[in-house]
């Protein structure tokens, strides 16, 4: 039966809860764990449908990861749900030594990532999680951009064998994909064709990059190409290199520190295979603050206007690209 796609703005964490429940219906080996945040993470949907396969460990995230390791060792497929700040900050050691080191088939469903979490403030706004998980050996990192892609990402996660970190958000965000995608594919999709500059975004910044591209076209006559990176690690470089070869300059956009996240991943590809200017929109050497989610995004320039302004700066340094990339597609 086809999945009913959403059309109105809705949070990606809702897609996680809905798809997790669907996985429970399809696969009896799927189990879900939560650290006393099931309503917020939306794993509560699974818990109500399959109470015998749902484990609330309380405010003990490290224990949750270790419990998941035991379940995985007995043939279960655990989905561990909590806020991104706790999944990667409080339970890092257990994720590293228990899950990644042993290459266990465990999925970490981390909700409330980034500063769009809003009112909970800097203590809960995790802006280093992608860097931590990208640096971890054997860990796949997935950041879907809307409900429909998040639903597919969660369903598809069951088919993969490696440990996986999936980041979801708190606020309702516009729909980017009209239908639920059939697959994440290589994890990099061209959403808008362009020739002047590449806007490479992930998560909540994808719809903003699309708005920035519209603004650049309307106000500056600039045709921006927009790429959605849903799999940040391993980063499939082929589509990115094709875009950089065409445009010769890029801006990355992420709701995360520019250190260790998407910006660094794209810059590594460019530096090694096709050097062009890569500007970045993201968090600097700073923590978040308390306020509404959108007010926080505005404060740090994580907006369509911020992306467009950064693109205008990048275009000043645009070189003349006269050669193809040095090497073929790589994964990093």
Going by the DSSP 8-state scheme, the letter that residue 7 receives in this structure is -
Lookup: tokens for 78: 């655990």
78-to-119, 136, 158, 290 alpha-carbon distances in Å: 30, 19, 10, 33
The helix or strand, by DSSP H or E, that contains position 77, with its residue range, turns out to be: strand 77-83
CB 234 within 8 A of CB 332: yes
- Residues with Cβ within 8 Å of residue 50, at least 6 apart in sequence: 21, 24, 32
The helix or strand, by DSSP H or E, that contains position 299, with its residue range, turns out to be: helix 293-299
- Residues with Cβ within 8 Å of residue 314, at least 6 apart in sequence: 197, 249, 250, 251, 277, 279
Catalytic residue (one of 25, 61, 162, 272): 61
Going by the DSSP 8-state scheme, the letter that residue 159 receives in this structure is T
Count of H-run helices and E-run strands, the chain:
13, 12
CB 189 within 8 A of CB 228: yes
The yes-or-no answer on residue 119 being catalytic is no
- Residues with Cβ within 8 Å of residue 59, at least 6 apart in sequence: 35, 36
Give the residue numbers marked as catalytic: 61
């Amino acid at each position: 039966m086809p999945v009913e796609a959403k059309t109105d703005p809705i949070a990606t964490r809702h897609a996680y809860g809905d798809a997790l429940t669907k996985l429970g219906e399809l696969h009896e080996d799927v189990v879900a764990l939560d650290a006393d945040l099931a309503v917020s993470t939306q794993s509560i949907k699974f818990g109500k449908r399959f109470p015998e396969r749902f484990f609330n460990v309380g405010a003990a995230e490290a224990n949750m990861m270790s419990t998941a390791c035991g379940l995985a060792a007995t043939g279960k497929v655990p989905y561990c749900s909590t806020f991104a700040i706790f999944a990667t900050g409080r339970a890092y050691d257990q994720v590293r030594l228990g899950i990644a080191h042993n290459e266990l088939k465990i999925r970490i469903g981390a909700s409330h990532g980034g500063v769009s979490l809003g009112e909970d403030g800097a203590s809960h706004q995790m802006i280093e999680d992608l860097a931590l998980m990208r640096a971890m050996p054997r860990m796949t990192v997935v950041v879907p951009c809307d409900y429909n892609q998040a639903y597919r990402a969660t369903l598809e996660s069951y088919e993969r064998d490696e440990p996986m970190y999936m980041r979801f958000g708190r606020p309702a965000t516009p729909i980017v994909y009209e239908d639920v995608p059939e697959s994440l594919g290589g994890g990099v999709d061209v959403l808008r064709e362009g020739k002047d500059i590449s806007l490479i975004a992930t998560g909540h910044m994808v719809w903003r990059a699309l708005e920035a591209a519209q603004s650049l076209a309307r106000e500056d006559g600039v045709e921006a190409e927009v790429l959605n990176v849903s799999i940040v690690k391993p980063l499939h470089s082929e589509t990115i290199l094709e875009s950089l070869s065409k445009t010769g300059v890029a801006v990355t956009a992420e709701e995360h520190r520019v250190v260790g996240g998407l910006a660094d991943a794209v810059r590594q590809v460019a530096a090694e295979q096709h050097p062009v200017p890569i500007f970045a929109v993201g968090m600097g050497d700073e923590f978040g603050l308390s306020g509404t989610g959108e007010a926080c995004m505005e404060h740090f320039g994580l907006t369509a206007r911020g992306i467009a302004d950064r693109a205008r700066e990048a275009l000043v340094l645009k070189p003349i690209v006269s050669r193809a990339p040095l090497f073929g597609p790589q994964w990093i």
